Amino acid sequence: MANVLLDQGALERFEVEPNLVGFRSPALTELGVPHAFTTRHTGGGLALELDGSDGSHASAERLHRLVGLNEPRTLARVRQVHGAALRRAPGEPQLSPPHADALFTEHPKDLLIMRVADCVPVLLASTDGRAVASVHAGWRGLVAGVITRALEEFASSNLVAAIGPSISRDHFEVGPEVIDAFRAVDLSEVVCEQANGRDHIDLRLAVELQLSRAGVRRIDTTDRCTWRDRADFFSFRRDVTHGNSESTGRMGAVIGVAPRESSPVR
């Protein structure tokens, strides 16, 4: 693959209050797009809201404060299935969320949410801030084409992307069937072969490659690892697969279109 010139920035950790902490993208902030990658310091409200359990009102209020919104928006979600399906947010409350791994909206009253606990969260926005998407990109979704599917929904390829905290290459060991799946979709660059032990995959690099090949030139990212940086993040592989926990929490990738009064920085 030929080298491409990317404009890259680093996600910034920010704190609204001691138990309301997230990461944000400088590029999306410049566009006036409300967004955040949540952390384990966002509190239990995120899981309550997404599960439809008691306390959803408090959860919505905390998410709005985290992304800096004063006016309430409809929280749009899906039932994530590690595939490549995308849904457009309906602009109204959902009784039964559809199965998908990407959400898109141009509606000013939507706030999109995806949940992750090792998979790569990706936020996308048009450069006028009027169209946005939130994507859940695990290894199955990546090889199935979830990033490409999300990009296709935008009218222009002139987009801004933010790649959130996920499991790092050093902690994502996989079997030969996963290696073969990435090589089959022209992502051999993300394979890290190990002389002793199982090979590893760099999921964040896979997302970056798919975005850059599609023409996205402004990509903010991070080196934070959900497994390694346990003070900030939940990790399914660390806590459940290789730990003693029966379950673990989730972080969220949250985004909405820019408020109409916003004037994006060009």
- What CATH number should be reported for the domain holding residue 249? 3.60.140.10
264 pLDDT band (50/70/90 cuts)? low
The two tokens of residue 150 are 């999300």
The two tokens of residue 45 are 């409200």
Q: Identify which of 262, 257, 5 has the alpha carbon closest to the alpha carbon of residue 131.
A: 257
Q: What is the mean pLDDT of residues 201-224?
A: 96
The two tokens of residue 43 are 């509190």
Q: Is residue 32 part of a domain?
A: yes
159 pLDDT band (50/70/90 cuts)? very high
Q: Is residue 261 part of a domain?
A: no
Q: Is residue 265 part of a domain?
A: no
Q: Is residue 136 part of a domain?
A: yes
Rounded alpha-carbon distances, angstroms, from residue 72 to 57, 107, 111, 180: 11, 13, 9, 45
pTM, two decimal places: 0.91
Lowest-confidence segment of 91-95, 134-138, 212-216 by average pLDDT: 91-95
Q: Is residue 207 part of a domain?
A: yes
Q: What is the pLDDT of residues 42-95, one digit of tens each?
A: 754 454 344 443 334 557 888 999 999 999 999 999 999 999 999 999 877 777
Distance CA 143, CA 141 (A): 6
Q: Is residue 19 part of a domain?
A: yes
Q: Domain total for the chain?
A: 1
Q: Is 11 exposed, middle or buried (0-12, 13-18, 19+ CB in 10 A)?
A: buried
The two tokens of residue 155 are 């009218």
Q: Is residue 4 part of a domain?
A: no
Containing domain of residue 34, as a range? 12-255
Q: Is residue 179 part of a domain?
A: yes
Pairing state between β 74-76 and 218-221: unpaired
